[in-house]
Amino acid sequence: MPAPLRRQYVDSRWGQIHLHVAGNPGSASKRPLLCFHLSPGSGRMYMPFLAAMGEDRLAMAADTPGYGTSNAPPAPPSHVADYAAALGDIIDALDLPQVDLMGAHTGSRLAVELAHQRPDRVGRLILFGAAVYTPEERARQKQTYVSGRQGIVVGENYLTKMWKGWSSWRGADVTDDMIWRYVVDSVIDPVRSWWAHGAVFEHDLGARLKALPNEVMVLCVKDDIFEPTQRARGQINRGTYVERSDWGHWFLETRTAEFAAIARTFLDRN
């Protein structure tokens, strides 16, 4: 039976971090699971998955500082490692001996960096959308998602543009409500929406993934970073690669039970 969802705030170096939470830390012997979202976005993308995983462990999704309802950093962080360190404050605030991590897109990079920073506190990692970019792709992404969003003017067509952008990745089983949640979480703070991308496109995920001793599962679905994520297969030091071209952006909501079973098998094996 899905676990009830609740909300919680914890203190960090940049103020408070908001968490979506399911399950209880003392209810099972399994490691808690801490999830990081894509950017711009929020931990709401994980809610059905948290409810499923919370049946037998503590499952949490954090709003990255500056997104959702978490406090923002004082200035745009220059490095993914800065965001990861702030999210690592959750582990200390909740006094968790060890956690497993899951990341989506930007969140995959945050998870990898946090695993490097806290080798004694991080177990296994699930990375949904682990894009390994070429230098040319990285330059184009910086132009689109960083330079293109600095000083953005929110006009009457802003929401329409965001709706059309997310809707272009819609599958047959994706509802308007699912798309709208992504749109809302993308526009909650237009002034700072590019901050995480400013750090992401300076980050060499391939090298950092290859140097990671933790066991990792990379999940590649049919979304906007499908091909760059395929390249991550050759960068996994320890772990596995799962490709599901029949899944898309909203698989955490449309394929919740199926993916929760895959995640449990990976996270709980001896």
* φ and ψ of 152, to 5 deg: -65, 140
Q: Is it the case that residue 147 has pLDDT exceeding 70?
A: no
What is the domain count for the chain?
1
Q: With 90 as the cut, is the pLDDT of residue 120 above it? A: yes
Residue owning tokens 């220059």? 78
Per-residue burial over 185-213, b if 16 or more Cβ lie within 10 Å, else e, is bbbbebebbbbbbbbbbebebbebbeebe
The residue type at 36: F
Does an H or E element contain 150, and which? none
Check which CATH number belongs to the domain holding 80 and give it. 3.40.50.1820
pTM across the whole model: 0.95
In sequence order, the 6+-apart residues with CB closer than 8 A to the CB of 52 are 2, 3, 256, 257, 260
What percentage of the chain exceeds 70 in pLDDT?
96
- Give the mean pLDDT of the chain: 94
Q: What is the pLDDT of residue 148?
A: 59
182-202 pLDDT, tens per residue? Answer: 999 998 988 888 899 989 888
Domain that holds residue 237: 5-268
